[in-house]
Copies of this chain bind each other. A is one copy, B any other.
Amino acid sequence: MNASRTARERVRAELIREITDVARRHLATEGAAGLSLRAVAREMGMVSSAIYRYFPSRDDLLTTLIIDGYNALGEAVEHAEAARARDDFTGRWLAGCRAVRDWALAHPHEYALLYGSPVPGYAAPRDTVAPAVRATAVYGRIVADAYRAGRLAPPPIFPPPPAVLAKDAEAVRAVMPGVPDDVVARAIVAWTSLFGMVSFEIFGQFDNTITHRAELFEHNMTCLARLLGLPD
């Protein structure tokens, strides 16, 4: 029978889910470095070695949390962007930016796990790259849609990108098909600026200086939209 076999596998899947839930809660309060397998096991009434039946190492548990994090962020961005009218390109961009910031503020430690210093001795396996591009893909779609609709009018003040970047632009174009190289380059500027901004806020670089962070963020993202060539 397959049903009996799935009975055991169901309780196994349930336990894996519970472990990641507890681990995520610990991650949220203690941070990645403070995430302890023993503490997770203790909270679940297990002994530490039992966890290794489900996760071969602490890094594997971290990988799961990273994948979940990318997916959660990606979903938040997708959801926020989908709520806007398809032809409101600037609105879609701003909604996506706000989704990133809001998610980061709500889950600072998970954000740090994704976009902060890499955990030493930990190498992100292949499985993480697909979820990682989810949020990026949304941005690519916005830029590509706007370009296709003829609503992208980048200001003529920026120099054309050097020819060497054509190959890299080709790779990035996977998420924004049909967009010319100079727009790709500007999209990268806007994209990295967004995360620079969020990282500065989350990692405390704005402490003792910037107090109206939401307003500054809003204004900066609007400026980046103009840089991209999105309409106002």
Contact = CB atoms under 8 A, between A and B. Distances in A.
A185 B220 contact: yes
Contact of A192 (B129, B168, B200): B200
A205 B117 CA distance: 11
In this complex, which of A113, A159, A188 has the most chain B Cβ atoms within 10 angstroms of its Cβ? A188
Contacts of A204: 118, 124
**Tally of this chain's copies:** 2
Contacts of A194: 196
B120 A117 contact: no
A178 interface: no
Given A186-B223, A211-B167, A215-B165, A112 B117 contact: yes
A192 B186 CA distance: 15
Contacts of A158: 222-223, 226
Interface of A is mostly: helix
Interface in A95-116: 109, 112-113, 115-116
Interface string A208-230: 11111001101110111011000
A189 interface: yes
Interface in A141-175: 155, 157-159, 161-162, 164-165, 167-168, 171-172
A7 B117 CA distance: 41
4 closest pairs, A vs B, by CB?
A: A196-B196, A116-B117, A31-B120, A112-B117
